[in-house]
A and B are shown apart, each in its own frame.
Chain A
Amino acid sequence: TQLLEQSPQFLSIQEGENLTVYCNSSSVFSSLQWYRQEPGEGPVLLVTVVTGGEVKKLKRLTFQFGDARKDSSLHITAAQPGDTGLYLCAVKATGYSTLTFGKGTMLLVSP
């Protein structure tokens, strides 16, 4: 059983469409991070959410942390080919530095 379940595993859409990907767990976390990993590169941190119910926006990306701090969603508006990549969520156990990752959602945005 994975600590973090990400869905969907793979998503292929056309440019201009909206989408939402999810990161779920049965555990409660003090914070949750979203990363994007482009082909041939390492993951790059997009955002950290720390408060239950928190919403953060990064241009066309909207991140939400669940009220109970067990889950999170990432919504992309008007997706572009440059959004293509593997979207990973990750958490740290309280007081620890080490990250635990989900398997990720592979997003392909076609022109």
Chain B
Amino acid sequence: ETGVTQTPRHLVMGMTNKKSLKCEQHLGHNAMYWYKQSAKKPLELMFVYNFKEQTENNSVPSRFSPECPNSSHLFLHLHTLQPEDSALYLCASSHTTGATDTQYFGPGTRLTVL
């Protein structure tokens, strides 16, 4: 238990569906991250939020839409996804986005797009 929770843990959706992934951290951190982990690829950073403001968008397609209503919660809204978007989506948090701050990861949401 790292203090970062993600729901749902597993999600199967069709290409026309709209769904959302949720991440919550109980560590009092101010920075939150979304990563994508695909088979045979390195973990890829998608988005970074610091004090609720998006500070990085790593050229992610617009069918992925993040939302950070407060420092404890982070959402990833999904719509019209493609089968190649099937992956493990990991959320992480850290005290700030400082270079020495440790990131704590949640268990991930395993997404399958049919």
Contacts and interface: CB of A to CB of B under 8 A. Distances in A.
A26 interface: no
B41 A42 contact: no
A92 interface: yes
Nearest to A38: B107
A41 B45 contact: no
Contact of B40 (A42, A96, A103): A103
A40 B107 contact: yes
Interface stretch (B65-73, B79-87, B98-106): B98-106
Nearest to B4: A42
Nearest to A98: B45
A63 to B, nearest CB: 15
A42 B45 contact: no
Interface string A67-94: 0000000000000000000001010101
Contact of B99 (A4, A45, A95): A95
Contacts of A103: 40-42
A101 B42 contact: yes
Contacts of B106: 42
A99 interface: yes
* Interface size band for B: 20 to 34
Interface of A: 2, 4, 30, 40-45, 48, 88, 90, 92, 94-104
Given A97-B31, A97-B94, A97-B98, A45 B42 contact: no
Contacts of A99: 43, 45, 103
B74 to A, nearest CB: 14
A41 B4 CA distance: 11
A9 B13 CA distance: 31
A92 B99 contact: yes
B107 A45 contact: no
Nearest to B50: A97
10 contacts: A42-B105, A42-B106, A43-B90, A44-B2, A45-B102, A45-B104, A97-B31, A97-B98, A97-B101, A102-B42
A45 B101 CA distance: 12
A14 B49 CA distance: 43
